Amino acid sequence: MTSIALRKDIPSAELEKSQIAFSHVTLDLGGKTIIENVSLDVKPGEFLCIIGASGCGKTTALRLAAGLYQPTSGHVSFDGEPMRAPRRDVAIVFQDYGKALLPWRTAAGNVALALETIGMPKAQRPARIDELLKKVGLPNHAAKYPAEMSGGMQQRLQIARCLAQEPKALLMDEPFGALDAMTRQGLQDEVLSLLDASKATVIFVTHDLEEAIYLGDRVVGLLPHPGRIGIDLPINLPRPRDQLTTRENPEFLRLRRELFDFIKASEA
């Protein structure tokens, strides 16, 4: 059984296809090569984490996956089609929820915007908004504005808004980087259970090696200057994951050591 099949029940024919594929991707920006010859296949429903030293190109790789950058050479595809521009079925969750949310709209209004974008008729929106806010643990906060919510709540709201798009893939850039440790662990578990239900493919960028192992089916580490794949580890830890037992598992500790050594060597 593969680690992906452990996460959710996806037909094996689906797993053979790539959902997001990088083929020999190189990207130059400002006269510098930022990403060099990256080839990467992400399968439908896979939870891939990207780690690496600061400035190694993690966010840039995510922007390529989102269609926000076009490669200088090589290509990025989604469901077998060239990724020439951002797509509605690929949602992005940013670390900076403050900038991602509209401050003049309530929680319900922020989610409604995503429903408008996918063309949901107005009459159907309130029930869907309630459902989404409930899913992310904000059932009683529909009328609040982002400024009236904690960081963790705002990030939940951003996730609800992304789920409203019913994305096939979710690209997450350090989504919990600005949150305290307890809020962060709670949201890790919420994201795992939300994604188990939605079966979306995930690319999740993080500085936190333990977070990457805890969440992922696979962890890819980038080497810096230019950004290249230096390590690609399957995470064969049982699911559902548990904040105590998973983190105490000897395999978790072995993986943490391997990634720690990788980062240390890549910074040397």
Ligand X SMILES: Nc1ncnc2c1ncn2[C@@H]1O[C@H](COP(=O)(O)OP(=O)(O)OP(=O)(O)O)[C@@H](O)[C@H]1O
Contact residues: ligand X, CB under 6 A: 29-30, 32, 34, 52, 54-60, 207
How is 104-170 classified by DSSP, letter by letter?
TS-HHHHHHHHHHHTT--GGGHHHHHHHHHHHTT-TT-TT--GGGS-HHHHHHHHHHHHHHT--SEE
Nearest to 21 by CA among 45, 42, 46, 35: 42
Least CB distance from residue 2 to ligand X, whole Å? 28
For ligand X, which is the closer residue by CB, 105 or 184? Answer: 184
Least CB distance from residue 148 to ligand X, whole Å? 29
* Alpha carbons 247 and 241: distance in angstroms, whole number: 9
18 alpha-carbon distance from chain centroid: 16
Least CB distance from residue 27 to ligand X, whole Å? 9
- 132: buried, middle or exposed (CB in 10 Å: 19+, 13-18, 0-12)? buried
For ligand X, which is the closer residue by CB, 65 or 162? Answer: 65
Least CB distance from residue 69 to ligand X, whole Å? 9
* Alpha carbons 153 and 136: distance in angstroms, whole number: 9
* Alpha carbons 221 and 103: distance in angstroms, whole number: 35
Least CB distance from residue 98 to ligand X, whole Å? 17
For ligand X, which is the closer residue by CB, 58 or 241? Answer: 58
For ligand X, which is the closer residue by CB, 56 or 100? Answer: 56
Q: Phi and psi for 164 in degrees, rounded to 5?
A: -60, -30
For ligand X, which is the closer residue by CB, 4 or 49? Answer: 49
Least CB distance from residue 189 to ligand X, whole Å? 24
How is 41-71 classified by DSSP, letter by letter?
EE-TT-EEEEEESTTSSHHHHHHHHHTSS--
For ligand X, which is the closer residue by CB, 100 or 115? Answer: 100
